[in-house]
Amino acid sequence: MKADRDVISSLHMLSTEAEVTETMLDTLASFVCAAYSPKGIYIKTISELRWHLFCKHMAESDKLPPTLEASRQHVL
């Protein structure tokens, strides 16, 4: 509900564009970070987020966000 226009635009372009750009992937990665980050913590990369969740919250592996490459494959 609080996603910015770039995220919404990137999600929309997934259904209309034939090619996924690096900019789209970066925007969607920031969306994943926003979705998984604890309240009040702003982390910009999936790798940092996974490390933070693992170390600080001892999240189980099935509760961690996908790796950067896994999320890239999902988008493609």
Nearest-angstrom CA–CA distance, 3 and 19: 22
DSSP character for 65?
Answer: P
pLDDT exceeds 70 at position 69: yes
Q: Are 69 and 14 in contact (CB under 8 A)?
A: no
Task: Count H helices and E strands in the chain, helices first.
Answer: 4, 0
Give the pLDDT confidence of 34-52 residue by residue, as tens digits: 888 888 888 888 888 888 8
Instruction: Using a cut of 0.75, tell me whether the model's pTM lies above it.
Output: no
Residues 6+ apart with CB under 8 A from 2: 34
Nearest-angstrom CA–CA distance, 38 and 49: 10
